[in-house]
Protein backbone atom coordinates (compact mmCIF):
# COMPACT_ATOMS: atom_id res chain seq x y z
CA UNK A 1 0.00 0.00 0.00
CA UNK A 2 2.79 2.41 -0.85
CA UNK A 3 1.68 5.93 -1.42
CA UNK A 4 -1.47 5.56 0.66
CA UNK A 5 -2.46 8.97 1.85
CA UNK A 6 -2.61 8.83 5.62
CA UNK A 7 -3.97 12.33 5.94
CA UNK A 8 -6.49 13.58 3.43
CA UNK A 9 -6.57 17.18 2.18
CA UNK A 10 -9.37 18.00 4.60
CA UNK A 11 -7.33 16.65 7.48
CA UNK A 12 -9.04 13.29 7.97
CA UNK A 13 -7.17 10.05 8.59
CA UNK A 14 -7.73 6.73 6.86
CA UNK A 15 -10.48 5.74 9.29
CA UNK A 16 -12.16 9.13 9.27
CA UNK A 17 -10.74 10.46 12.51
CA UNK A 18 -9.21 13.86 13.12
CA UNK A 19 -5.50 13.86 13.99
CA UNK A 20 -6.03 14.33 17.72
CA UNK A 21 -8.94 11.92 18.10
CA UNK A 22 -8.72 8.64 19.95
CA UNK A 23 -10.57 5.58 18.71
CA UNK A 24 -13.63 4.34 20.52
CA UNK A 25 -12.70 2.90 23.92
CA UNK A 26 -14.72 0.17 25.54
CA UNK A 27 -13.86 -2.00 28.47
CA UNK A 28 -15.19 -4.50 30.96
CA UNK A 29 -13.57 -5.26 34.28
CA UNK A 30 -14.02 -8.68 35.81
CA UNK A 31 -14.63 -10.89 32.78
CA UNK A 32 -13.50 -14.26 34.16
CA UNK A 33 -14.27 -15.79 37.51
CA UNK A 34 -11.32 -18.13 37.69
CA UNK A 35 -8.53 -15.57 37.45
CA UNK A 36 -7.88 -13.30 40.41
CA UNK A 37 -8.36 -10.30 38.19
CA UNK A 38 -9.38 -9.94 34.57
CA UNK A 39 -10.35 -7.24 32.12
CA UNK A 40 -11.27 -6.74 28.49
CA UNK A 41 -10.22 -3.60 26.66
CA UNK A 42 -11.06 -2.35 23.19
CA UNK A 43 -9.35 0.49 21.38
CA UNK A 44 -11.19 0.70 18.10
CA UNK A 45 -10.66 -2.71 16.51
CA UNK A 46 -7.80 -3.73 18.78
CA UNK A 47 -9.30 -6.11 21.32
CA UNK A 48 -7.32 -7.40 24.28
CA UNK A 49 -8.10 -9.71 27.19
CA UNK A 50 -5.95 -9.63 30.31
CA UNK A 51 -5.85 -11.91 33.32
CA UNK A 52 -3.94 -11.55 36.57
CA UNK A 53 -3.09 -14.38 38.94
CA UNK A 54 -1.61 -13.56 42.27
CA UNK A 55 0.00 -12.68 44.46
CA UNK A 56 0.95 -16.30 45.04
CA UNK A 57 3.99 -18.35 45.83
CA UNK A 58 6.74 -18.34 43.24
CA UNK A 59 6.14 -21.17 40.79
CA UNK A 60 8.93 -23.08 39.17
CA UNK A 61 12.39 -22.29 40.46
CA UNK A 62 12.41 -21.10 44.05
CA UNK A 63 15.65 -19.29 43.38
CA UNK A 64 13.79 -16.63 41.44
CA UNK A 65 11.99 -15.50 44.58
CA UNK A 66 13.28 -12.21 45.92
CA UNK A 67 13.35 -11.65 49.66
CA UNK A 68 12.24 -8.03 49.60
CA UNK A 69 10.00 -7.65 46.60
CA UNK A 70 7.53 -9.35 44.33
CA UNK A 71 8.36 -11.09 41.07
CA UNK A 72 6.23 -9.86 38.18
CA UNK A 73 5.77 -12.40 35.45
CA UNK A 74 4.17 -11.16 32.25
CA UNK A 75 3.23 -12.89 29.06
CA UNK A 76 2.12 -11.25 25.84
CA UNK A 77 0.36 -13.56 23.45
CA UNK A 78 -1.48 -12.88 20.22
CA UNK A 79 -4.29 -15.10 19.03
CA UNK A 80 -3.54 -16.97 15.83
CA UNK A 81 -6.49 -15.28 14.14
CA UNK A 82 -5.63 -11.89 15.63
CA UNK A 83 -3.65 -10.25 12.89
CA UNK A 84 -4.29 -9.69 9.23
CA UNK A 85 -2.47 -12.88 8.27
CA UNK A 86 -2.78 -16.11 10.14
CA UNK A 87 0.07 -16.39 12.59
CA UNK A 88 1.49 -19.80 13.35
CA UNK A 89 3.04 -19.17 16.77
CA UNK A 90 0.96 -17.32 19.34
CA UNK A 91 3.94 -16.40 21.54
CA UNK A 92 7.64 -16.85 22.00
CA UNK A 93 8.76 -14.82 19.02
CA UNK A 94 10.97 -11.78 19.35
CA UNK A 95 8.24 -9.19 19.26
CA UNK A 96 6.24 -10.93 21.95
CA UNK A 97 9.27 -11.18 24.19
CA UNK A 98 9.98 -7.47 23.75
CA UNK A 99 6.38 -6.55 24.52
CA UNK A 100 6.51 -8.75 27.59
CA UNK A 101 9.57 -6.93 28.89
CA UNK A 102 7.97 -3.53 28.35
CA UNK A 103 4.84 -4.61 30.17
CA UNK A 104 6.93 -5.82 33.07
CA UNK A 105 8.75 -2.52 33.18
CA UNK A 106 5.53 -0.55 33.32
CA UNK A 107 4.09 -2.60 36.16
CA UNK A 108 7.26 -2.54 38.19
CA UNK A 109 6.95 1.22 38.27
CA UNK A 110 3.43 1.23 39.60
CA UNK A 111 2.94 -1.80 41.83
CA UNK A 112 4.11 -1.49 45.44
CA UNK A 113 6.74 -4.18 45.05
CA UNK A 114 7.80 -4.25 48.69
CA UNK A 115 4.36 -5.23 49.90
CA UNK A 116 4.61 -8.73 48.47
CA UNK A 117 8.02 -10.20 49.26
CA UNK A 118 8.86 -13.71 48.10
CA UNK A 119 5.71 -13.77 45.95
CA UNK A 120 4.82 -13.73 42.30
CA UNK A 121 2.18 -11.87 40.31
CA UNK A 122 1.32 -13.27 36.87
CA UNK A 123 -0.03 -10.94 34.21
CA UNK A 124 -1.23 -12.64 31.04
CA UNK A 125 -2.36 -10.68 28.05
CA UNK A 126 -4.09 -12.11 24.99
CA UNK A 127 -4.61 -10.01 21.87
CA UNK A 128 -7.80 -11.19 20.21
CA UNK A 129 -7.79 -8.77 17.34
CA UNK A 130 -4.97 -6.47 16.39
CA UNK A 131 -5.40 -3.14 14.64
CA UNK A 132 -2.48 -1.04 15.79
CA UNK A 133 -1.42 0.26 19.22
CA UNK A 134 -1.30 -3.31 20.51
CA UNK A 135 1.07 -2.51 23.35
CA UNK A 136 -1.09 0.36 24.57
CA UNK A 137 -4.26 -1.69 24.60
CA UNK A 138 -2.43 -4.53 26.37
CA UNK A 139 -1.09 -2.24 29.05
CA UNK A 140 -4.46 -0.64 29.65
CA UNK A 141 -6.23 -3.98 29.83
CA UNK A 142 -3.61 -5.46 32.15
CA UNK A 143 -3.81 -2.40 34.41
CA UNK A 144 -7.57 -2.84 34.79
CA UNK A 145 -7.03 -6.52 35.52
CA UNK A 146 -4.56 -5.59 38.26
CA UNK A 147 -7.14 -3.26 39.77
CA UNK A 148 -9.69 -6.08 39.64
CA UNK A 149 -7.24 -8.39 41.40
CA UNK A 150 -6.84 -5.86 44.19
CA UNK A 151 -3.09 -5.49 43.84
CA UNK A 152 -1.74 -2.37 45.55
CA UNK A 153 -0.72 0.17 42.92
CA UNK A 154 0.51 3.74 43.05
CA UNK A 155 -1.44 4.85 40.03
CA UNK A 156 -3.45 3.58 37.09
CA UNK A 157 -0.82 3.46 34.34
CA UNK A 158 -2.09 4.10 30.88
CA UNK A 159 -0.44 4.07 27.50
CA UNK A 160 -1.03 5.80 24.24
CA UNK A 161 0.73 6.00 20.93
CA UNK A 162 1.36 9.08 18.84
CA UNK A 163 2.90 9.56 15.45
CA UNK A 164 4.05 12.14 12.99
CA UNK A 165 2.60 12.27 9.50
CA UNK A 166 3.70 15.16 7.23
CA UNK A 167 4.57 17.31 10.26
CA UNK A 168 1.15 16.74 11.78
CA UNK A 169 0.98 14.75 15.00
CA UNK A 170 -1.64 12.01 15.19
CA UNK A 171 -2.82 10.11 18.27
CA UNK A 172 -3.63 6.42 18.62
CA UNK A 173 -2.32 4.91 15.43
CA UNK A 174 -4.12 2.04 13.77
CA UNK A 175 -2.53 -0.81 11.84
CA UNK A 176 -2.47 0.99 8.49
CA UNK A 177 -0.74 4.01 9.98
CA UNK A 178 1.76 1.91 11.92
CA UNK A 179 2.90 -0.09 8.93
CA UNK A 180 3.65 2.94 6.79
CA UNK A 181 7.01 3.35 8.45
CA UNK A 182 6.29 6.75 9.95
CA UNK A 183 7.51 7.91 13.31
CA UNK A 184 5.71 6.28 16.20
CA UNK A 185 6.06 7.17 19.86
CA UNK A 186 4.62 4.96 22.60
CA UNK A 187 4.33 6.56 26.01
CA UNK A 188 3.14 5.04 29.23
CA UNK A 189 2.35 7.48 32.03
CA UNK A 190 1.55 7.52 35.69
CA UNK A 191 -1.29 10.03 35.33
CA UNK A 192 -1.33 11.72 38.74
CA UNK A 193 2.30 12.76 38.66
CA UNK A 194 2.59 12.71 34.87
CA UNK A 195 5.76 10.66 35.19
CA UNK A 196 6.82 8.40 32.35
CA UNK A 197 7.00 4.65 32.94
CA UNK A 198 7.73 3.40 29.42
CA UNK A 199 8.98 5.35 26.43
CA UNK A 200 9.65 3.95 23.00
CA UNK A 201 10.25 5.67 19.66
CA UNK A 202 10.32 4.08 16.21
CA UNK A 203 11.41 5.82 13.10
CA UNK A 204 13.27 9.11 12.90
CA UNK A 205 12.25 12.35 14.50
CA UNK A 206 13.57 15.87 14.14
CA UNK A 207 14.27 17.67 17.40
CA UNK A 208 11.78 20.42 16.51
CA UNK A 209 8.84 18.04 16.66
CA UNK A 210 9.75 16.34 19.90
CA UNK A 211 7.79 18.65 22.25
CA UNK A 212 4.65 18.48 20.15
CA UNK A 213 4.78 14.71 19.80
CA UNK A 214 5.38 14.20 23.51
CA UNK A 215 2.49 16.52 24.34
CA UNK A 216 0.13 14.67 21.99
CA UNK A 217 1.03 11.33 23.49
CA UNK A 218 0.61 12.70 27.02
CA UNK A 219 -2.78 14.14 26.17
CA UNK A 220 -3.78 10.78 24.71
CA UNK A 221 -2.73 9.05 27.91
CA UNK A 222 -4.69 11.49 30.07
CA UNK A 223 -7.82 10.99 27.99
CA UNK A 224 -7.48 7.24 28.28
CA UNK A 225 -6.88 7.64 32.02
CA UNK A 226 -10.13 9.58 32.43
CA UNK A 227 -12.00 6.82 30.66
CA UNK A 228 -10.35 4.08 32.73
CA UNK A 229 -10.86 5.90 36.02
CA UNK A 230 -14.54 6.37 35.33
CA UNK A 231 -14.93 2.67 34.57
CA UNK A 232 -12.98 1.61 37.65
CA UNK A 233 -15.19 3.77 39.88
CA UNK A 234 -18.36 2.41 38.28
CA UNK A 235 -17.10 -1.12 38.68
CA UNK A 236 -16.19 -0.62 42.35
CA UNK A 237 -19.57 1.00 42.99
CA UNK A 238 -21.36 -1.99 41.46
CA UNK A 239 -19.24 -4.37 43.58
CA UNK A 240 -20.04 -2.56 46.79
CA UNK A 241 -23.78 -2.52 46.11
CA UNK A 242 -23.84 -6.25 45.40
CA UNK A 243 -21.95 -6.89 48.62
CA UNK A 244 -24.34 -4.82 50.67
CA UNK A 245 -27.21 -6.98 49.42
CA UNK A 246 -25.35 -10.03 50.65
CA UNK A 247 -25.15 -8.57 54.15
CA UNK A 248 -28.91 -8.52 54.41
Stretch that binds another protein, among 82-90, 165-173, 200-208, 228-236 (CB under 8 A): 82-90
Residue 39 or 189 having the CB closest to another protein: 39
- For residue 92, the minimal CB distance to another protein (Å) is 7
How big is the chain by its Cα radius of gyration, in Å?
Answer: 19
Residue 32 or 209 having the CB closest to another protein: 32
3-state DSSP percent of the chain in helix, strand and coil, to 5: 35, 30, 35
Q: How many CA atoms lie within 13 A of 131 on its CB side?
A: 14
Angle between helices 94-110 and 134-149 (to 10 degrees): 40
Which residue in the set 25, 51, 103, 143 belongs to the binding site for another protein (CB under 8 A)?
51
What x-and-dash track marks residues 199-228 binding another protein by CB under 8 A? ------------------------------
Instruction: Let me know how many helices (H) and strands (E) the chain has, helices first.
Output: 4, 9
What x-and-dash track marks residues 11-40 binding another protein by CB under 8 A? ---------------x-x--xxxxx--x-x
CA-based torsion, 33, 108, 221, 200: positive or negative: negative
Regarding beta strands 183-190 and 37-43, do their DSSP bridges make them parallel or antiparallel, or are they unpaired?
unpaired
Q: Which residues form the interface with another protein (CB under 8 A)?
A: 26, 28, 31-35, 38, 40, 42, 45, 47, 49-51, 53, 59, 73, 75, 77, 79-81, 84, 86, 90-92, 122, 124, 126, 128-129
Amino acid sequence: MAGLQLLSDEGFRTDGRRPNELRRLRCKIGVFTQADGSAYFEMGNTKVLAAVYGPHEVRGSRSKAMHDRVLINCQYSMAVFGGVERKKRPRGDRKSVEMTEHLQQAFESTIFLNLYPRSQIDVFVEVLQSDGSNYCACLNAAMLALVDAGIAVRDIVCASSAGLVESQTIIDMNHVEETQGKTQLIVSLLPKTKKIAVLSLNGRLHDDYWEELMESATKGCMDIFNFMEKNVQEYLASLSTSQSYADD
